[in-house]
Structure formats: C-alpha cells, structure tokens
Amino acid sequence: MKFIEEYRDAELGKKLIARIHQRSTKPARLMEFCGGHTVSIAKHGIRQLLPPTVTMLSGPGCPVCVTASADLDKAIALARLPGVIITTFGDMIKVPASRSSLQQVKAEGGDIRIVYSTLDALKIAQENPSKSVVFIGIGFETTAPTVAASILQAQQQKIDNYYVLSLHKICPPVVKALLDSGEVKLDGIVCPGHVSAIIGSHPYEFIPRDYGIACVISGFEPLDILQCVDMLVAQIESGQPTVEIAYKRGVKPEGNKIALELMDRVFEVCDGNWRGIGTVPGSGLRLRKKYQRYDAERNFEFYPGEPVEPKGCICGDILRAVKTPPDCKLFRKVCNPEHPVGPCMVSSEGSCAAYYQYGEGYGR
C-alpha cells in the first residue's frame, strides 16, 4: 500500500483536467472548508490548471485561524496563572491574540509545551502531579474525539490535574451560517475529508436540499481534489446538486460511529465564537456537566480582558471568502510567516500562509 504516488499521477491528472475543461460551461464558484485542502490546492497549483469558469475560494477551515481572539486571550490568561502548564498543538503558540501570544508568555517564563497528541498532555499531567495541566482543545470533529478520549482516560486513570480548554468547533452549522449570510455566492462545496471521516456524508444533505449547492467530499492529494472538482462541475452542469463522496478510501456515509459516540459522551453542543464570523449558534463544543471537573473554564479564575482585533488585518474577511490574501494591505509587506499579524499567516493551514508560501501562479 502506498497511497501517495498513485494520487499524484501526472497522466491521470491531465486527463481529469482535460475533462473539467471540456465539461465546464457554467460558472462554478467552489469553496473548500478545510485548511488541508487550502494548502493542497496552493501547493499543487490546482487553481492554475482549472478553466476560467471555475473559481476556488477558501473558507473557514483552519482550526487555528477560526479561533476567536477572545478565546485565545483565555488561553493566554490561563498560561499566566502560577502552577499551570499549558499544552497545545504547535501552531497555536505563535498566533497573536489581543495583547500577547503564547510564545511571548513562554518567553516571559510561562510553562507552555507543544504536544503532538492529547496523550502527551496526559503524560505531562502524570509527571507533574503538583501542577495543573491544561490542554488547549482546538479543531473540528477531527480532533474533538481524541480530546474526549483523553478526558475519559484521565477519569479512568484518576489523573486529577488534567484540564481542557474546549475551543472546539463543528463544521455543518458554520457552513449554514455562511450560506445564510448571503455574502458569498457559491455553486459547490469541496467538503472536508477528515471531518467527514468522522461525521460521514449525511450532515451535509441540507446543503443541496435547502440551498441548491453541490457537495463533494474530497481527499487531499491532487488527484482527489481534481476528481472532486470534476464531480462538482458535473453536478453544477446537470443542475442536480447532491452530496457525493470522492474520498471513499477515507469516508463512509455514516462516518465513524465510535468517534461520534466518544464525542457525544463527553461534549455537548454550544454556541461557537468564530474569528471573522462571530457567534454561530450550535457550532461549538463544551464539556458535559458530568465532566466539568476537567473543564478549564470552570476550574480556574482568570481574566482575559477585552478582545482586540489586530489593526488592518482582514483575516475575518478572508475566512468568510469575501476577500483573498492578496487583497490585504498587510500581506507580504507587514505580515509574513516570520512576523504574522493575523492567524491566517501563522497556521500552516491558513490561507495567507498558503498563498505566501506557494506564491500562487508565480513564474508560470
């Protein structure tokens, strides 16, 4: 099993590209909702290969980027508490919040550690029984089940100094919020691959039914994405939008039942606060009452202060696909991966970072 080379085959790719060019007559405005797709599209130069009828837009799919400043401020306030060890995925530590970043707090002496999984965070909790270990729970339905599992494990192993700051978000409600806002006209959606591996394809069914928009769940390799675009174009041309899976090796229509059950056991749905979008009803996850003793928000007293958005940064507009990174006055000039102003330039899955790094279409 290789599963990499096969999905990067140039000959197959060229055939798919030719078919898309041949098929596409109507305007097809497509949005991807996953940061992984944003990066892959930029990295493989997919936009350059598509006919002028097809426009690819990037949506709010990077978990780091969509974390609201107010929520980041909470993480920073927690990090400043004595006796607290913050554990987090790497990209988070560089994101500028209202007045500081986790990186800065770390430099000032805060104990902030990058982990690759929640299991590492649990281990740190076990090794430091006199400290409180807080894991910053970010991400969509992809990461939430692993965080749920860590809480159950903490309970089982009686690790009583482990906490989670749940900033988790769920995907379908924000798609609905974006479509309801009417700010961006879409004809098709490149549905996320990993999120769909957990939730399956059914939660997207309202999109073609209520909004008449085509949906195809895609993998992350160039051939996956080209196939997805081809299927979306076919739906758009036929005027019969539906939900299809172009990523059958990863996604089943019913999703991953075990992961869904885990998530449901530990978390309940709440309102989610999204950068650039605001509060979206039913789009967040918080710990159920039964697991409150692991909830960082409920177990620490901290004062994050009033959130402030970075001046001139249009990450919010970019996350809603109202603007693209080159539309931003700060892009490349003031804001770059070494000195990021907004989160979309920090995260490896952010739109600005992807545009910056791969310089879409340069030197063609």
Residue type, 177: A
Residue type, 242: T
Nearest to 258 by CA among 199, 173, 202, 191: 199
Q: Which is nearer to other proteins, 63 or 222 (CB)?
A: 222
- Using the rule CB under 8 A, is 253 a contact of other proteins? no
- Which residue of 21, 55, 111, 120 would you call a contact of other proteins, by CB under 8 A? 120
Q: Which is nearer to other proteins, 150 or 273 (CB)?
A: 150
Q: What letter does residue 310 receive in the DSSP assignment?
A: P
Cβ 45 to other proteins shortest distance, Å: 2
Q: Which is nearer to other proteins, 10 or 158 (CB)?
A: 10
Contact pattern for other proteins over residues 128 through 157, marking x by CB under 8 A: ------------------------------
Cβ 105 to other proteins shortest distance, Å: 18
Binding region for other proteins (CB under 8 A) out of 20-28, 113-121, 136-144, 190-198: 113-121
* Rounded (10°) CA dihedral 35, 39, 44, 48: 80
Contact pattern for other proteins over residues 221 through 240, marking x by CB under 8 A: -x---x--------------
Contact pattern for other proteins over residues 304 through 343, marking x by CB under 8 A: --------------------------------xxx-----
Q: Which is nearer to other proteins, 73 or 91 (CB)?
A: 91
Q: Which is nearer to other proteins, 308 or 334 (CB)?
A: 334
Residue type, 181: S
Number of residues that bind other proteins (CB under 8 A): 35
Using alpha carbons only, what angle is made at residue 67 by residues 217 and 174, rounded to the nearest 5 degrees? 40
The neighbour count for residue 361, using CB atoms within 10 Å, is 10
Q: 288: burial class by Cβ within 10 Å (0-12, 13-18, 19+)?
A: middle
Residue type, 147: V
- Which residue of 34, 38, 44, 77 would you call a contact of other proteins, by CB under 8 A? 44
Residue 311 tokens read as 């001046």
Cβ 112 to other proteins shortest distance, Å: 15
Nearest to 54 by CA among 175, 234, 321: 234
- Which residue of 23, 45, 80, 264 would you call a contact of other proteins, by CB under 8 A? 45
Contact indicator for 15, 328 with CB cutoff of 8 Å = no
- Which residue of 52, 116, 239, 311 would you call a contact of other proteins, by CB under 8 A? 116
- Using the rule CB under 8 A, is 106 a contact of other proteins? no
Residue with tokens 């490349």: 332
Burial 137-172 (b: 16+ CB within 10 A, else e): bbbbbbbbbbbbbbbeebbeeebebbbbbbbbbbbb
Residue with tokens 């920090």: 346
Cβ 83 to other proteins shortest distance, Å: 22
One-letter-per-residue 3-state SS of 75-138: HHHHHCCCCEEEEECHHHHHCCCCCCCHHHHHHCCCEEEECCCHHHHHHHHHHCCCCEEEEEEC
Q: Which is nearer to other proteins, 120 or 237 (CB)?
A: 120
Cβ 10 to other proteins shortest distance, Å: 4
Binding region for other proteins (CB under 8 A) out of 8-16, 140-148, 292-300, 303-311: 8-16
Cα separation, 356 vs 93, in Å, equals 20
- Using the rule CB under 8 A, is 42 a contact of other proteins? yes
- Which residue of 26, 43, 202, 290 would you call a contact of other proteins, by CB under 8 A? 43
Binding region for other proteins (CB under 8 A) out of 11-19, 21-29, 135-143, 317-325: 11-19
Residue 41 tokens read as 């599209």
- Using the rule CB under 8 A, is 17 a contact of other proteins? yes
Residues that bind other proteins (CB under 8 A): 2, 4-5, 8-10, 13-14, 17, 42-49, 115-116, 120, 222, 226, 336-338, 348, 356-364
